[in-house]
């Protein structure tokens, strides 16, 4: 009986096979790390609002508005006293946040095809553009928090959060700095 010698499965030499496999594994690991580092961030938020009891006693309409969307959070605190001038104080806060959300969904959604003129240029530009598109009269404070997944520093993606506050609205940002099981700081 003739004995068959064993040969590698691949037609290229063993050393070359190891090198090709090693390079392939490094490339795949690099892609995986890049995805993990730069996967798009989004808000997972809910809002609850309740009219201040003093405003309820005075008969004022709730003039506050909130926005929770994947790329933008917003709070507007309308001026209830505008009712004394026969104005609906809730119109501007609600319209302003609605337009902010429309613009944010166009400008901030990952992989969105946006012309250079319509690109996200920060929360100040977003709010200014939204305000210019509103028709309602009124007065409101504004707080916006925007997630920008398109910021590049030295060619690498670095998701950023930008916060804009006009008036007396405040934002408290809590994060787990030491992993998913750590305390909020």
Stretch among 39-43, 73-77, 131-135, 139-143 having the lowest mean pLDDT: 39-43
Inter-residue contact 54 to 69 (CB < 8 Å): no
140-163 pLDDT per residue, tens: 999 999 998 887 788 887 888 999
Half-sphere exposure of 146 (CA within 13 A, CB side): 29
3-state secondary structure (DSSP) of residue 122: coil
Query: What is the pLDDT averaged over residues 88-114?
Result: 89
Q: Between vectors from CA 63 to CA 165 and to CA 65, what angle results, nearest 5°?
A: 55
74-100 pLDDT per residue, tens: 999 999 889 889 999 999 999 999 999
Stretch among 4-13, 86-95, 169-178 having the lowest mean pLDDT: 4-13
Average pLDDT of the residues of the chain? 81
pLDDT of residue 120: 84
């Amino acid at each position: 009986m003739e004995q068959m010698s064993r040969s590698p499965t691949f037609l290229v030499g063993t050393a070359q096979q190891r090198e090709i496999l090693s390079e392939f594994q490094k490339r795949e690991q690099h892609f995986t790390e890049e995805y993990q580092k730069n996967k798009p961030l989004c808000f997972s938020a809910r809002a609850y609002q309740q009219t201040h009891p003093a405003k309820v006693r005075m008969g004022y309409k709730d003039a506050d508005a909130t926005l929770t969307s994947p790329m933008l959070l917003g709070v507007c605190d309308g001026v209830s006293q505008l009712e004394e001038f026969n104005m609906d104080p809730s119109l501007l806060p609600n319209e302003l946040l609605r337009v902010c959300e429309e613009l944010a969904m166009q400008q901030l959604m990952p992989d969105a095809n946006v012309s250079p003129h319509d690109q996200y240029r920060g929360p100040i530009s977003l709010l200014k553009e939204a305000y210019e598109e509103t028709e309602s009269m009124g007065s409101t404070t504004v707080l916006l928090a925007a997630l920008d997944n398109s910021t590049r520093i030295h060619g690498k993606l670095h998701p950023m959060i930008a916060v804009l506050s006009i008036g007396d609205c405040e934002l408290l940002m809590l994060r787990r700095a030491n992993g998913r099981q750590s305390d909020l700081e």
